[in-house]
Structure 1
């Protein structure tokens, strides 16, 4: 099987030291380690449960896509991991990649409790456009563009990552005839046409995802925070989008133009969405206005992030309470028609209210036990919550959860195989993940 033509020598377990678990996603878990010979940190994305022909093929495909798309704005791949030799899993495999010390745009928004300062916002969206334009120039589509897949290095520069859903497009100029197999990606970033089972992805898929990504960075929020898959699947094809009217377009020069770009990217009609050549030209114009301010705000943000690890002032969601020159938090906007952001009686357009209540591990575990029947019925982000638990979920259990057809069945397996026997610490970790992905549900149930 062709793999990384000029990097065929595998990187083995014995060549790495100081392993640390970072997180989990897709079909792999990610670790940080130091390469003994190179002397710097690398990231290792390992398959969840050993090697099979299909997993190995997917692994090779992702690594080759990453190498083919290699540029300043795409995560660098160093080679294939193999190991641990002579240990319990002799056939374990993975991808060895560049390690991004800050995390992702998603974690940055969470740590800051909102969007970054505008000059950094404009650099991030421009760098993503540059990376996506390069990807498309290599006849590749990403298909999973979202904040967690835009990683940040120590200087807060952005690089595209997670090519597990990447597909080869048929033509560099074709928009409607590209055959790329089944659709993928996170449903809140998927275009309306992708909810059709017969849909075959084209590059317009990525343009739509970029529009939702822009909204998320501009506001510091997750789109449709309380909407499950079925509701998004229903409302997005009917024209619902996040409430862009809440963005104060006068707060920064050029923001109005980028909000207009955002709206064009998520247009209901795929052919009306701009390609990434257009996107990068428009983001370049705005970024050039604010370029001289970037170094100042990057230092400011890094100082704020550093302070969060050494003290103190955090709210219940982990958002920093350190003063920061950021865009103002969005105000409610009654004229926006955004049914996805509604509950039975209130609008979801405003920020989730923040409680000052702090719960002990025992209280969190009791919450999980007491609310088991309702949680099984209403939780939709089961895989995201499972991935948050990391090594607390056994590989076999993870695969079993992943194989279940419905969210209800998935969460039942998680309860039966992990939460029931895991003790209070596991249940408390589950509670924290639940609170992150279903904050209003936890609040409604008294958490």
Structure 2
């Protein structure tokens, strides 16, 4: 079996320079290289060592078949929102004279994937970018399904980003041709695939045959990941997910729900997200239906995209930025929203009592406090602060290097803000002394001025 060559050309080692390994998947490795004649960087996906050398290649190797299928599917699904294939590769990237490797030559996406950006930022993307990502993924999936293909592994690491953070779908190693257009409403495909956190409840049954509703469910979980800036179920292994997802468990929406009334279009997108991960495959909206929602939401935020791209680029390109900068979306209000929204604070969603407290006060206390006074405030109000502080991760990020990476992970892993505050108090605030507590006070005053005013009054 040979890799397809229609509309593409064969690329060999003599055409490439500056090759380096940039990623690895289930059966493939991805290299970045500069094509000498074309003058730009390309990505080359090859089989892992031992799968496709001429000396030990097995004609029916399932991995080699998958690579060929992926190339064919990329050609069939070629569009603006699906990764483009430039050609096929044959050469020796590993440098072993006895081995010949085969692969796919693709466009190189300079910003990596949604997953890699999330890991670098340690916070959600600005709303305009998040909403554009949601729309572009829906566009790519609509095109894919229109070609009677399913993706089968839709997740953050398979949504790649160019330097302007535009998205393209990648990794069709698990894609299969859907027969729904030929046979009936039963959209059968070849085999189960995908990452377990993005698999629908029905996929955990031994008799399950993947259909396009699989992708629709995965899109719902992907939307949650884009909006929250992290992976779902961080501590759950396969066995736990297999047990709980069919029982109705889904990612926690508490933090997202708090922001729905202040972020224009977020409520509609959250509703779409929840419909996509519905237990019943038949109730999940098609991607054409998804597009109606995502396009409408994106329209409300288009004017903010340029600034969002600049902000994220600046942060990613700055050293140690993920430790020192605050989260992008701590201010839910967007430039397109009215600034006269006087019922909801632009930092967080407040209770009626807290709103009244703000309205009754002229301003947050401006008295000068020493670090010792600030530390004393933080210690004396421990119980109350644990109960009422909601922007825990934003405040933790403000503390920067004062919170060690392992402590940051422990705080982030907690499911509720109350639990996060307890971890923060028992760890960094306890061991860091006056300096850390004073810094915490300053961050608290920045993110929760109404709380400081109330407790300090």
The TM-score, its normalising length taken from structure 1, stands at: 0.71
What is the rounded CA distance, in whole Å, between the counterparts of 1:83 and 1:72 in structure 2?
Answer: 29
Per-residue deviation, 1:172: 3.7
* Contact 1:4 1:67 (8 Å CA) reproduced: no
**Quick one: structure 1 residues 174 and 106, their matched pair in 2 at CA, closer, same or farther if it must change by over 3 Å?**
farther
Once the two structures are superposed, residues 81-132 of structure 1 have per-residue CA deviations (whole angstroms, 9 ceiling, x without a partner) of 1112994343211111110000111111122211111011110100000000
Matched, 1:325 2:325: no
Per-residue deviation, 1:249: 1.0
Matches within 5 A, 1:186-225: 186-225=195-234
Per-residue deviation, 1:351: 6.8
Q: Where does residue 72 of structure 2 map in the other structure?
A: 64
**Quick one: structure 1 residues 89 and 2, their matched pair in 2 at CA, closer, same or farther if it must change by over 3 Å?**
closer
Per-residue deviation, 1:331: 9.5
What is the rounded CA distance, in whole Å, between the counterparts of 2:235 and 2:36 in structure 1?
Answer: 45
Per-residue deviation, 1:221: 1.9
Q: Where does residue 340 of structure 2 map in the other structure?
A: none
* Contact 1:115 1:217 (8 Å CA) reproduced: yes
Per-residue deviation, 1:9: 3.7
* Contact 1:137 1:172 (8 Å CA) reproduced: no
The TM-score, its normalising length taken from structure 2, stands at: 0.69
Shifted more, 76-85 versus 297-306: the winner is 76-85
Does the residue aligned with 1:103 lie in a helix, a strand or coil? Answer: coil
* Contact 2:180 2:188 (8 Å CA) reproduced: no
Q: Where does residue 253 of structure 1 map in the other structure?
A: 264
Q: Which has the higher contact order (CA 8 A, sep 6+)?
A: 1
The RMSD of aligned alpha carbons is: 2.8
* Contact 1:84 1:90 (8 Å CA) reproduced: yes
Q: Where does residue 83 of structure 1 map in the other structure?
A: 91
Once the two structures are superposed, residues 374-427 of structure 1 have per-residue CA deviations (whole angstroms, 9 ceiling, x without a partner) of xxxxxxxxxxxxxxxxxxxxxxxxxxxxxxxxxxxxxxxxxxxxxxxxxxxxxx
Does the residue aligned with 2:329 lie in a helix, a strand or coil? Answer: coil
Unaligned 5+ runs, structure 1: 314-318, 333-349, 360-434
What is the rounded CA distance, in whole Å, between the counterparts of 1:147 and 1:62 in structure 2?
Answer: 18
Matches within 5 A, 1:33-432: 33-50=33-50, 51=52, 52=57, 53=59, 54=61, 55-84=63-92, 87-172=96-181, 176-247=185-256, 248-307=259-318, 311-313=319-321, 319-323=322-326, 325-327=328-330, 356-357=403-404
Per-residue deviation, 1:328: 6.0
**Quick one: structure 1 residues 174 and 216, their matched pair in 2 at CA, closer, same or farther if it must change by over 3 Å?**
farther
What is the rounded CA distance, in whole Å, between the counterparts of 1:264 and 1:89 in structure 2?
Answer: 53
**Quick one: structure 1 residues 151 and 320, their matched pair in 2 at CA, closer, same or farther if it must change by over 3 Å?**
farther
